[in-house]
Amino acid sequence: RRCIIMKRLLGILIFITITILSIACGHPDPLTKTAVVMDTVVTLEAVDGEREQAIDEGMAYLQRIDALASQNEGSDLEALRLAAGNGAWVEISPEVFEMLEISQEWAAKTDGAFDVTVGPVVWLWGIGTEYAKVPGEAELAEARSHVGWQKLELDKETTSARLTEPGMRLHLGAIAKGYAIDGLRAIFAKHHVKNGLVSLGGSSIYAFGESPKGKPWRIGIRHPRSEDAKEYLAVAPLSDAALSSSGDYERYFEQDGVRYHHIFNPAIGRPATSGVLGVTVVAQGDHAGTLTDILTTTLFVMGEEKGKAFLENSGIDASALFITQDGSTFHFTAAQSGNAPAMRDVLTDVSQTVEWK
């Protein structure tokens, strides 16, 4: 009997030792799953907690948001487009409603630099599709006349929306991934994942806690002129924070030496030519995923000077990195606003000039 007790004690001792060791050394093998969702390669990684459930529920959630934010038959956005100008309110899903509510708030704040009613222009140019083209002046003027955030109306009571003019349509490409990041954070929290990483195509990322090495996650900031998406200009250490990037290298085509990319200046209906090649934003706190996604697109449209001033005066807790080019030299300019000290450190680390051969 004594022998059995000794064996049990020994068993408990071994269990405790292994637990202490695995906590001290970090979890050796995070669970990682990759899938193609939201038009991009999604990677969900959980180091601790109910890893399997968190990741599987996360993937299912992304598929749901993908369908909701799409323009497919039967989607909210298609229903709104079909009803545009006929006066009827269209009841939409709470998720799409929330995205539109936040979008409208930012459209007002940014004087329309961020505007989800840019849809007709996105559609006309078709950047990233096989029918991409530089449109003629007349069709461009026509598409542009259907853009304007004041012509999108929302009714919170009935979670309904309407587009007040025919020819209008929405596009959620600049916010959906960031919004989904915040949804994933809620799912990971529910399943007690304190350390992990979620990446939607590398352009919207959230780092939970620390990597298995017990250090902040290391997030590469993509080289804006390299074909290889894994060639980084810099690496940002990230912990409990969201990072988002927008750039003219994500989706574009070239004609007569001009690069036509997918981030539009809604005021003119053309790809923004602000002198910026890429913007990366980091932020912490509630809605940091949504905030960083909206900000990268917005700051790209505004350009370095206007964007910096906007950020510094806005009081938003976020830091941004603008990448500009001068011949073969890339410049990083960091700007920051509000109370984001940890973020400032992340970006001053990479705030430098990089020579590219």
Q: Which stretch binds ligand AMP (CB under 6 A): 130-138, 233-241, 259-267, 347-355?
A: 259-267
Is 269 an interacting residue with respect to ligand AMP (CB under 6 A)?
no
Cβ proximity to ligand AMP: between 47 and 122 the closer is 122
Cβ proximity to Mg ion: between 37 and 193 the closer is 37
Is 115 an interacting residue with respect to Mg ion (CB under 5 A)?
no
Number of residues that bind ligand AMP (CB under 6 A): 19
Q: How far is the CB of 38 from ligand AMP (least distance, A)?
A: 11
* DSSP codes joined into one string, 54-89: HHHHHHHHHHHHHHHTS--TT-HHHHHHHHTTS---
Q: How far is the CB of 278 from Mg ion (least distance, A)?
A: 12
Is 47 an interacting residue with respect to ligand AMP (CB under 6 A)?
no
* In the complex, residue closest to ligand AMP by CB: 173
What part of residues 283-322 is at the interface with ligand AMP (CB under 6 A)? 293, 296-297, 301
Is 182 an interacting residue with respect to ligand AMP (CB under 6 A)?
no
Say which entry of Mg ion, ligand AMP, none residue 264 contacts (CB below 5 to 8 A, set by partner kind): ligand AMP
Sequence letter at residue 243? L
Buried b vs exposed e over 98-129: b needs ≥16 C-beta within 10 Å? ebbebbbebbeebebbbbbbbbbbbbbbebee
3-state secondary structure of 16: helix
Tokens of residue 172, six digits: 């959620």
Pattern 91-130, binding to ligand AMP, x per CB under 6 A? -----------------------xxx-x---x--------
Single out the residue of 213, 227, 178, 216 nearest to residue 199, CA to CA.
178
Could you tell me where the beta strands, DSSP code E, fall in 291-328? 318-326
Is 245 an interacting residue with respect to Mg ion (CB under 5 A)?
no
Is 104 an interacting residue with respect to Mg ion (CB under 5 A)?
no
The CA distance from 232 to 251, in Å, is 18
Is 290 an interacting residue with respect to Mg ion (CB under 5 A)?
no
Q: How far is the CB of 250 from ligand AMP (least distance, A)?
A: 6
The CA distance from 320 to 239, in Å, is 16
Tokens of residue 161, six digits: 């929306």
Beta bridge partners of 283: 242
Give rounded-to-5 percent helix, strand, coil for the chain: 40, 25, 35
Is 297 an interacting residue with respect to Mg ion (CB under 5 A)?
yes
CA 276 to the chain's CA centroid: 18
Sequence letter at residue 199? S
What is the contact surface with Mg ion in residues (CB under 5 A)? 174, 293, 296-297
What is the contact surface with ligand AMP in residues (CB under 6 A)? 114-116, 118, 122, 171, 173-174, 203, 246, 250, 262-264, 266, 293, 296-297, 301
